[in-house]
Amino acid sequence: MAGRGGVANNSAGVPTWDGVVPPQCQPNPSIFRLSADLAWVQAREPLHADIDVTKTNGIGPGMSFANAVLTKDPSFGTVGLVPCAIGGTNISEWQKGDFLYEQLVKRAQMAVQSGGVYRAMLWFQGESDTLNQEDAELYKGRLKSFFNDLRSDLKQPSLPIFQVALASGTGPYVEEVREAQFGIGLKNVKTIDAKGLPLEPDGLHLTAQAQVTLGEKLAHEFLRFKPSPLSSNDAATSFPYFLIIAQLFTSVWMIFTFR
């Protein structure tokens, strides 16, 4: 969910963001983001500008999500977004011990140390796993491992996770990956379908308006979500459920509120 809304190739074939920020994605004094140097700053598009530094960033679902949450629930408080997405990555690159995974954990933990409270994770990834059959077949197991390891390392076994099912893909195994996403079978994981949302001319990335719609869909599900209690078989240690939410998108986000 690094966000490529509004990004298209210019006359020289170079990906360029048009700079248009939809009204639903405008800055809000109650919405912050954790920068690449681990400082809280006012959130503004593109949210991943200093995170996914090798690509051209545009509009993603993060700001429309946060603004929609505050519009629908004015008492929600201050929202802290922790962008972690790197576009075009394979789920195998997000496994425990790998750089992207460890960076995600580090940023999430730093957000808590500076006063944040986990509220949920937003996850939108999988296009690169549609390229070959082996990756598509292994996707479900790898995704489960990622979610389980992350919850364990953050000491949040019931952390709500809102994942987005693919709207498109770069390879022929889109449906296989989508099937894995919908069949993940973990408690407190909600899947939101992006299929049918408008795409940029590249036929892969969501348009800016589609990103707005997706963010609003995520906010709706987030606010109505009621976590399922864990059984004794789900976690060796039981932690009190005082963290309702954090945001991630390749989209990876963690969402926090502040004490």
Query: How are beta strands 79-83 and 161-165 bridged, if at all?
Result: unpaired
Looking at the domain assignment, is residue 89 inside a domain? yes
Instruction: Supply the pLDDT for residue 4.
Output: 74
**Taking 70 as the threshold, does the pLDDT of residue 242 lie above it?**
no
Instruction: Supply the pLDDT for residue 8.
Output: 83
Identify the band that residue 57 occupies on the pLDDT scale cut at 50, 70 and 90. confident
Identify the band that residue 151 occupies on the pLDDT scale cut at 50, 70 and 90. very high
Q: Which residues contact 236 (CB under 8 A, 6 or more apart)?
A: none
Looking at the domain assignment, is residue 25 inside a domain? no
What is the DSSP annotation of 139-167? HHHHHHHHHHHHHHHTT-TT--EEEEE-S
Looking at the domain assignment, is residue 13 inside a domain? no
Give the tens place of pLDDT for each residue, 58-115: 999 999 999 999 999 999 989 999 999 988 899 999 999 999 999 999 999 998 888 8
**Is 174 buried (19+), middle (13-18) or exposed (0-12) by CB count in 10 A?**
buried
Dihedral angle sign, alpha carbons of residues 227, 233, 234, 239: positive
Looking at the domain assignment, is residue 101 inside a domain? yes
**Taking 90 as the threshold, does the pLDDT of residue 202 lie above it?**
no
Domain count, the chain: 1
Can you name the residues that pair with 5 across neighbouring β-strands? 59
Looking at the domain assignment, is residue 214 inside a domain? yes
* Separation of alpha carbons 160 and 208, rounded Å: 26
Instruction: Specify whether the CB–CB gap between 26 and 71 falls below 8 A.
Output: no
Looking at the domain assignment, is residue 141 inside a domain? yes
Looking at the domain assignment, is residue 102 inside a domain? yes
Section 137-164 average pLDDT: 97
Q: Which residues contact 7 (CB under 8 A, 6 or more apart)?
A: 15, 16, 17, 18, 56, 57, 58, 200, 205
**Taking 80 as the threshold, does the pLDDT of residue 181 lie above it?**
yes
**Taking 60 as the threshold, does the pLDDT of residue 145 lie above it?**
yes
Greater pLDDT, 137 or 239: 137
Instruction: Supply the pLDDT for residue 259.
Output: 60
Q: Find the helix or strand (DSSP H, E) in which 7 lies.
A: strand 7-9
Dihedral angle sign, alpha carbons of residues 24, 32, 121, 135: positive
Look up the domain containing 102 and give its range.
30-225+241-258
User: Would you tell me how many other CB atoms lie within 10 Å of the CB of residue 21?
Assistant: 18
Percent of residues, the chain, with pLDDT higher than 90: 67
Instruction: Look up the CATH number of the domain holding residue 86.
Output: 3.40.50.1110
Looking at the domain assignment, is residue 18 inside a domain? no
3-state DSSP assignment of residue 102? helix
**Taking 70 as the threshold, does the pLDDT of residue 243 lie above it?**
no
Instruction: Give the end-to-end CA distance of the chain in Å, rounded to a whole number.
Output: 27
Residue with tokens 């681990």: 38
Nearest CA-CA partner of 130 in 79, 171, 186: 171
Nearest CA-CA partner of 214 in 167, 145, 151, 156: 167
Greater pLDDT, 169 or 235: 169
DSSP state of 115: T
Least confident of 40-54, 165-179, 218-232: 218-232
Identify the band that residue 201 occupies on the pLDDT scale cut at 50, 70 and 90. confident
